[in-house]
Structure 1
Amino acid sequence: MSILTAFSQMLIFFSLIMVGVACSRKNLVNEENAHSISKLIVNVFNPAIIFSSVLGNSQNKEGDFISLIVLIAIIMFSTFIILGSIGSRFFTKDKDEIKIYKLMTVFSNVGFIGIPLVDSLYGSSAIIYVAIFILIYNILIYTYGISILQGEAGKRLSLTNLKNILNMGTLSCCITLFVFCFHISIHPVVQTTVTYLGNVATPLSMMSIGFSLGRANIFSVFNDKKLYLFSFIKLIIIPVIGVLILKRFNLPEQVLGVSAVMLSMPIGNLPVMLANQYGVNSENCAKGIIITTLFSVITVPLIMGLV
């Protein structure tokens, strides 16, 4: 894929983010509104765009590579966990910050940015692959992620954590894969409704990121040199090595491309929310989200240029 194609798409996303920043700065959207919109994206619009990936598709070539994507996703997240466990101690000695660096390494923004980017670059049929990554992500965030935040108290898998795994993101992925694997026909009225809802996901997801940026003190965000190094490793070093390794296996272009997108995503929002919930200082994570999101406008096209 050409760098220009990916950069053009990221520039569109950046423009939408800036619209969100402007709306936040002008108080058209307050923090409560932004939170409600995020809930709509997570529980309605993103599930819709995931489900729309199996509507009207022949389901032939994509189905051939599902098991391959599962394997890649498992290896990717396992590698992230190992790297986070080893590397976090090089950035800080503070126990809370070590937890945050582990989470920032593993949990990227595969939903808010990953879904619309894959949709834009490879079409809706490729989102079935993203569903695999999201499914594994959701299982890990409410098992491994919670265990990191809780320390010794989180070693046991609680009923609450199991309930959290069964969220709309997980359910939509499971339903999508079920429909896909069993070639279930969906009524045209349902198809159109889901497609309309899915079309809202991309602009609103980008604007939602802008709402968060608009409330942040940007100047205070860029005063932590360790986050620059972390961002360079997360957005450049790891994705470059990952893509170069994957290219040695002569994977189909769409499989390689989706995997590259997943590898190159900035830090996701969920670690901050969970850290706050469990009383862990999330300031570094909030800063990391802003820095990596802004830098990804440049780094994602560079990574996609390797595909």
Structure 2
Amino acid sequence: MIALLLMQQIAVLFLIMGLGFLIVKLGIVETEDSRVLSMVTIYLVLPCVTIHAFQIEYSTKIRNGFLLAVVAAILIHVILFIVCGILRKLLNMDEVETASLIYSNAGNLILPLVTSILGEEWVIYASGFLCVQTIIVWTHGQSLMQGQRQVNWKKIVQNINLIAILVGLVFFLCNIHLPKILDSMTSSLAGMIGPISMVMIGMLLAGVDWKQVFGKRRIYGIVFLKMIVVPGIITLCLKLAAPLIPMENAKTILLISLLAVIAPTAVTITQMAQLYKRDAAYASSINVFTTLVCIVTMPLMVMLYMM
């Protein structure tokens, strides 16, 4: 049932993405205008999604579930490092390819999916994965793309979404609730996450050089690894682990972590590729290709996990 709902919701989001693609092709807006939506999403909508998710009554059940999500995210990244480290040596992968396999666009795609399929009360567990990935991408991810061991603590500390998670967590642990008018505001903005994210992606896709995306042979292997092989390994690990965890919602919480892994390559990798003079066009192509493929691979992995 969850796999079917997932396919339906992904289809809805991709139709919205098609509208974003269309308004660019009709000349109503330009691809570059998507940057405005990107900034609104990152600095306004996503933080509201996170803070609103933590506006629930404190309970040990939810606290333990959040801790499970954090521990699962850490262990998943350890597995990703090991698997991708082996693949990098075997296939002589560069920094862009390695980072593309490890880091996913868990925020823009998974938060709206979790909200639509499971409900707002489950976003708190998705935030656990985002918290871990945010820290790791600006430590290991940046060092990998930069080609040297250097941690940008400023980027970590000033990351608006990490700040939102920490603020939301404090509110939850201290059982602090926003005034009704502020809670209504964050709830309204949180409801925008799905449409605004997909319109933005559609606008970006309208400016893509499709010959470049599909013309490079190596990209097919990388996308296959990113969307089938690596998620397949994580799916099997989580499937084996779920029955061993004595927690009522363990299987669903691990499913949310799995969705984050199956998500397309993180846009952050393209941004880092531009910053550190890597092959940004290749990184962008991987992001586009994995975005298109996830509509098929995500439901398949979920069905494998739920069997």
Output the TM-score relative to the length of structure 1: 0.91
Counterpart of 1:253 in structure 2 is 251
Counterpart of 2:232 in structure 1 is 240
Counterpart of 1:49 in structure 2 is 49
Matches within 5 A, 1:85-234: 85-92=85-92, 98-152=94-148, 155-157=149-151, 161-165=152-156, 166-234=158-226
Query: What is the CA–CA distance in structure 2 between the aligned matches of 1:268 and 1:177, rounded to whole Å?
Result: 24
Query: What is the CA–CA distance in structure 1 between the aligned matches of 2:182 and 2:217, rounded to whole Å?
Result: 50
Query: What is the CA–CA distance in structure 1 between the aligned matches of 2:84 and 2:239, rounded to whole Å?
Result: 24
Matched residue pairs, number? 298
Report the CA distance between 1:83 and its aligned residue: 2.5
Report the CA distance between 1:59 and its aligned residue: 4.4
Query: What is the CA–CA distance in structure 1 between the aligned matches of 2:271 and 2:150, rounded to whole Å?
Result: 21
Q: Name stretches of at least 5 consecutive residues in structure 2 with no aligned partner.
A: none
Alpha carbons 2:58, 2:172 under 8 Å: kept: no
Query: What is the CA–CA distance in structure 2 between the aligned matches of 1:239 and 1:57, rounded to whole Å?
Result: 33
Letter in 2 for 1:183: N
Change (3 A) 1:211 1:43: same
Change (3 A) 1:156 1:257: closer
Alpha carbons 2:56, 2:172 under 8 Å: kept: no
SS in 1 for 2:141: helix
Matches within 5 A, 1:286-297: 286-297=284-295
Query: What is the CA–CA distance in structure 2 between the aligned matches of 1:175 and 1:90, rounded to whole Å?
Result: 42
Q: Name stretches of at least 5 consecutive residues in structure 1 with no aligned partner.
A: none
SS in 2 for 1:248: helix
Report the CA distance between 1:186 and its aligned residue: 1.8
CA-atom RMSD in angstroms: 1.8
Report the CA distance between 1:277 and its aligned residue: 1.0
SS in 1 for 2:106: coil
Alpha carbons 2:31, 2:206 under 8 Å: kept: no
Query: What is the CA–CA distance in structure 2 between the aligned matches of 1:106 and 1:188, rounded to whole Å?
Result: 40
Report the CA distance between 1:101 and its aligned residue: 1.1
Report the CA distance between 1:89 and its aligned residue: 4.1
Alpha carbons 1:52, 1:194 under 8 Å: kept: yes
Letter in 1 for 2:165: C
